[in-house]
Structure 1
Amino acid sequence: MTTLRTPGPTIGVVGGGQLGRMLAEAAAPLGVEVVVLDPTPDCPAALVARDQIVAEFDDEAGIRELAARADVLTFEIELADQDVMERVSEDTGTPVHPKPSTLETIHDKLVQKRTLEDAGVPVPPFRAVDDADDVRAAIDDYGAPVMLKARTGGYDGRGNVPVESKSEAEDALEAVAGPAMVESFVDFEREVSVIAVEGDDEVATFPIGENVHEAEILRETIVPARSSEAVTERAHAVARDVLEVMDGRGVYGIELFETTDGEILLNEIAPRPHNSGHWTIEGAASSQFEQHVRAVLGWPLAATDLRSPTVTTNLLGDVDDERPARLTDLDEILETPRAALHWYGKRQARPLRKMGHVTLSADESASDTSVGELLERARALEDAVTFRP
């Protein structure tokens, strides 16, 4: 093994949103510096990263500059261009993790599903669609509703449109506005996710989380998920199978359906730290962000044990239009033991935009605290804060 040292290397991150911000926060105690590339001046990560290069995610000159200043490149947003990153890596010798080939697989959801299905990973029935007749044929075969998904460009629920009846097919395709696919609607007991880590010669998984979505946006994550031991084991097994398909080191957010029959089906994969893993900062022995830093550098991974039951609630822009972001009425969060506020530093609030999150962990000595009780307390903390113009 290469001798590790600190102060250590520099990681170049394509993307400077909240994930880049939390990556930089996790890297600093390890003596690792972070430089981010993002088109928004003074992006959320800029406050805590070593520096920011202001450039678009596919700007080859900008990514070359980033590579020149880094020992390894990674990304915190799927809008990173895999072809540009591949060329830059080949020309400069700066490695990229996860590898651009993984981004290529992930970018097209149809390719992603076909690749995983071919590898034996359980997925819902799906097919490509070219027009409204194809959507209606899918409803004939799968039953209504079906989920229409943009094959490219969608993430964090964007680009997903439920189609309740054949009469909605044209409008749904217009909303997706591009190449699309259809999935059968899964009759699920709950949505869960596993944050999995591919290291240099080791793999780690965090305890599974239970996710609550509304309007295709993640609202809450509950850990541990209220699933049986058998379902939990199956979820971890599927997550490890997914890692076998992906190429390159790093954290992968693996979203799954737990069906009413107790089966596990893959929903989607994010080849980066994921919103459903934010609970790990306070709730686990290490955070997903520290693990990503360690993994992309080829360093040993840390422990992933659960410290105590933990709930994360997202703070979304509860505004009708775009306005300067200002969060008030924080007293209750700040006064609550084992509650943690994470503000992302975004300058503008927009409807349903993720502006921050609140994590609430149970007292480690209070073994009788249920995750249901913890969830209700976390929701009360979220309800107490407000956005002001």
Structure 2
Amino acid sequence: MTTLESPGPTVGVVGGGQLGRMLAEAASPLGVDVIVLDPTPDCPAAGVSRDQLVGDFDDEARIQELAERSDVLTFEIELADQDALERVREETGVPVHPDPATLRTIHDKLVQKRELEAAGVPVPPFRAVEDVADVRAAIDDYGASVMLKARTGGYDGRGNVPVESKADAEAALEAVAGPAMVESFVDFEREISVIAAKGYGETATFPVGENVHEDEILRETVVPARSSDAVLERAREVAEDVLEVMAGRGIYGIELFETTGGEILLNEIAPRPHNSGHWTIEGVRTSQFEQHVRAVLGWPLGSTALRAPTVSTNLLADVEAPRPAALANVERIFETPTASLHWYGKREARPLRKMGHVTVTADGDETREELLERARGLRDAVTFESE
């Protein structure tokens, strides 16, 4: 049985963006302090954390300082340096979760896909490419279109370039500008995701979400996903198989395709709380952020039971150029009993930057389609204005 003491433990987080902010918000009621490391002074997480260390994600001296003030280290961004984390763990004895080895696997999408395929996780056909001829050969084998992906550095849709024909191969490689891989195009019915937790000798999965993207940016997540029970169960099974491959405790955002034939294929994995899991704050008993805190500390995982069908919709800055961030016309959100506003505390609004999100839970027998339209209406009424 876990014995809680006051003051409680401290979690050091590499990264202090909106995910770090929501981690700190979830940790506080548990008696857990959070200290973040981020290169931006007064980062979004700073206002709700015990302290912020200002430093780059690969600043080993700063990471060591963070470890010396923490009981466990974790990260909320893939740009965290796995080698520095490993060395700091060895020097200080402070555990790091998820394991830096997992971060190393995630950093290279080709390595990630090879390891998962070897473990029996279903993935689309893929291959490494080095030049235009390789991309064109992949089109010969897979057919057009294919997806060209940067092996490193890209996340949340960044670094992904669709290649519609052989004539587009050269421009696509130039756009990726580095080591790349190709995946065959997946004829999918919908994009879905499973937020999954790996704890101390236990795992837990959250209800499957359906993700709506536009221009490679997540706009909405609908839960439960609008698919059959058999497909949702298969997605959960694949997520459990992914957890077997991942080393270290914590939350994993597992993005999947549901094909037109009802098959489940893995898209990508994020070894951290994920944008497609923000709905869990209101939608389930234990949010992905509280679950991550519990997991990295080795505490028992919480319930992932669904409270009600839920939609989360991102607030993207509708500005043409950077400007001071301010949110206007939020009255409708506050006047809606089943709606919740989450503001990320970013000082500057930039075009299509994620500034917050709105979550709406079902009212009575409301369908998911009705719920989605209501969430979009609340979101679309919001505007961004200068202070």
Aligned to 1:380: 377
Instruction: Count residues in correspondence.
Output: 386
Opposite residue 158 of structure 1, the aligned amino acid is: R
Question: Distance between the aligned counterparts of 2:135 and 2:322, measured in 1?
Answer: 34
Mapped contact 1:102–1:247 kept (Cα < 8 A):
yes
Question: Distance between the aligned counterparts of 1:252 and 1:125, measured in 2?
Answer: 23
State whether structure 2 residue 43 is matched by structure 1 residue 43. yes
Question: Distance between the aligned counterparts of 1:119 and 1:4, measured in 2?
Answer: 37
CA deviation after TM superposition for structure 1 residue 4, in Å:
3.0
Aligned to 1:93: 93
Question: Distance between the aligned counterparts of 2:245 and 2:4, measured in 1?
Answer: 29
Aligned to 1:334: 334
Opposite residue 127 of structure 1, the aligned amino acid is: R
Question: Distance between the aligned counterparts of 1:352 and 1:160, measured in 2?
Answer: 17
Mapped contact 1:67–1:88 kept (Cα < 8 A):
yes
State whether structure 2 residue 283 is matched by structure 1 residue 279. no
The Cα offsets for residues 183-207 of structure 1, whole Å up to 9 and x where unpaired, read as 0110000000000000001100000
Corresponding residue SS for 1:200: coil
Corresponding residue SS for 1:374: helix
Corresponding residue SS for 2:311: strand
CA deviation after TM superposition for structure 1 residue 57, in Å:
0.1
Percent identity of paired positions between Structure 1 and Structure 2: 79
Corresponding residue SS for 1:44: coil
Residue range with higher mean Cα deviation, 317-326 or 289-298:
317-326
CA deviation after TM superposition for structure 1 residue 218, in Å:
0.6
The Cα offsets for residues 318-373 of structure 1, whole Å up to 9 and x where unpaired, read as 1122111111111111111110010101111111111100000013xx1x211110
CA RMSD of aligned residues (A): 0.8
Opposite residue 294 of structure 1, the aligned amino acid is: R
**TM-score where L is the length of structure 1:** 0.98
Question: Distance between the aligned counterparts of 2:36 and 2:367, measured in 1?
Answer: 40
CA deviation after TM superposition for structure 1 residue 132, in Å:
1.3
Aligned 1:357-376 pairs, distance under 5 A? 357-363=357-363, 366=364, 368-376=365-373
CA deviation after TM superposition for structure 1 residue 3, in Å:
3.0
Mapped contact 1:252–1:273 kept (Cα < 8 A):
yes
Aligned 1:170-319 pairs, distance under 5 A? 170-319=170-319
Corresponding residue SS for 1:115: helix
Point out where structure 1 has 5 or more consecutive residues left out of the alignment.
none
The Cα offsets for residues 273-311 of structure 1, whole Å up to 9 and x where unpaired, read as 000000000010110000000000000000000000000
Opposite residue 304 of structure 1, the aligned amino acid is: T
Aligned to 1:155: 155
CA deviation after TM superposition for structure 1 residue 110, in Å:
0.2
Distance 1:62 1:208, change over 3 A: same
Question: Distance between the aligned counterparts of 1:323 and 1:130, measured in 2?
Answer: 40
Aligned to 1:78: 78
The Cα offsets for residues 49-105 of structure 1, whole Å up to 9 and x where unpaired, read as 000000000000100000000000000000000000000000000000000000000
Question: Distance between the aligned counterparts of 1:148 and 1:326, measured in 2?
Answer: 37
The Cα offsets for residues 142-199 of structure 1, whole Å up to 9 and x where unpaired, read as 1111111110000111111111111111111111111111101100000000000000
Question: Distance between the aligned counterparts of 2:2 and 2:361, measured in 1?
Answer: 37
Point out where structure 2 has 5 or more consecutive residues left out of the alignment.
none
Residue range with higher mean Cα deviation, 142-151 or 21-30:
142-151
**TM-score where L is the length of structure 2:** 0.99
Opposite residue 382 of structure 1, the aligned amino acid is: R
CA deviation after TM superposition for structure 1 residue 2, in Å:
5.3
Opposite residue 383 of structure 2, the aligned amino acid is: T
Corresponding residue SS for 1:85: helix
Mapped contact 1:6–1:30 kept (Cα < 8 A):
no
